[in-house]
């Protein structure tokens, strides 16, 4: 089963780019972030015509997550548990059914950016990470093949940035953010990319500003966290960096894992 995460940065602006990539790569499940669309305005038809079932958790103008799947999506959860007053659309989870142990639980998440540091935005990021850690522990206890896929807005280590010094004052690289990622992996979640490579030139995001793409000033913030049951089935991982060089690209690129299911 091929499972991907892709921050699309506006589904309506990039629907053609998305359908082109889907046609080329034929992933089984795709977790989208920053769809920037309400549910009823999401352009599902072009995706359904390619054979995908679509579930969304949208929000007008910003945020928003979705799961596309060639298999049916069951028991869909919208919203990260732990704060009933949180109205930001940043989390959607569903079961992708299969035969026996071929069922996979998949979540698409868009962790808050948190900038600027020292504001309520960073406090919200920290609170959201705590809620995600609690929910992830509950998912781990289910002993299922589970993939937490998304834009985590976390640079785990200096190796994950072309120029780490540029990010020292950014929320993505703060001790609190990096500690959360260490806490997640220490709890048994596998960083899919780092399970297959220790390269220092592995990025998933290049800013639109200051020629970051042409200068290859990238960072790795889009991650696939695998439960032990999913990690045991991991065959390969690929970052489709070439997509960033296409017309009207997202500033993120797809990260794709193949699981033996």
Name the residues annotated as catalytic: 110, 151
Cβ–Cβ under 8 Å, residues 71 and 103: no
Structure tokens at 233: 């089935």
Helix, strand, or coil (residue 225): strand
Of 231, 225, 227, the residue nearest 139 (C-alpha): 227
Give CA separation, 74 vs 54, 123, 217, in Å.
Answer: 11, 33, 39
The CA distance from 92 to 77, in Å, is 6
Cβ–Cβ under 8 Å, residues 254 and 9: no
The CA distance from 260 to 233, in Å, is 5
Name the DSSP letter for residue 146: E
């Amino acid at each position: 089963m091929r499972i991907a995460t892709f921050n699309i940065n506006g589904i309506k602006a990039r629907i053609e780019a998305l359908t082109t990539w889907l046609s080329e790569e034929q992933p089984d499940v795709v977790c989208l972030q920053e769809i920037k669309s309400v549910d009823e305005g999401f352009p599902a038809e072009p995706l359904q015509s390619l054979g995908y079932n679509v579930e969304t958790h949208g929000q007008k103008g910003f945020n928003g997550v979705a799961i596309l799947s060639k298999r049916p999506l069951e028991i869909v959860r919208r919203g990260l548990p732990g704060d009933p007053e949180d109205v930001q659309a940043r989390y959607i989870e569903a079961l992708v059914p299969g035969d026996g142990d071929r069922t996979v639980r998949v979540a698409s998440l868009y962790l808050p950016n948190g900038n600027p540091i020292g504001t309520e935005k960073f406090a919200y990021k920290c609170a959201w990470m705590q809620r995600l850690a609690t929910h992830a522990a509950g998912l781990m206890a289910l002993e299922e093949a589970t993939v937490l896929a998304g834009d985590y807005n976390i640079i785990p280590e200096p190796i994950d940035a072309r120029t780490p010094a540029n990010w020292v004052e950014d929320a993505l690289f703060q001790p609190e953010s990096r500690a959360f990622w260490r806490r997640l992996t220490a709890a048994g979640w596998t960083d899919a990319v780092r399970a297959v490579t220790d390269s220092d030139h592995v990025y998933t995001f290049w800013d639109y500003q200051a020629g970051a793409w042409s200068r290859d000033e990238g960072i790795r913030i889009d991650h696939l966290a695998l439960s032990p049951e999913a990690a045991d089935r991991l065959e390969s991982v690929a970052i489709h960096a070439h997509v960033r060089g296409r017309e009207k690209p997202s500033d993120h690129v797809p990260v794709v894992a193949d699981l033996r299911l």
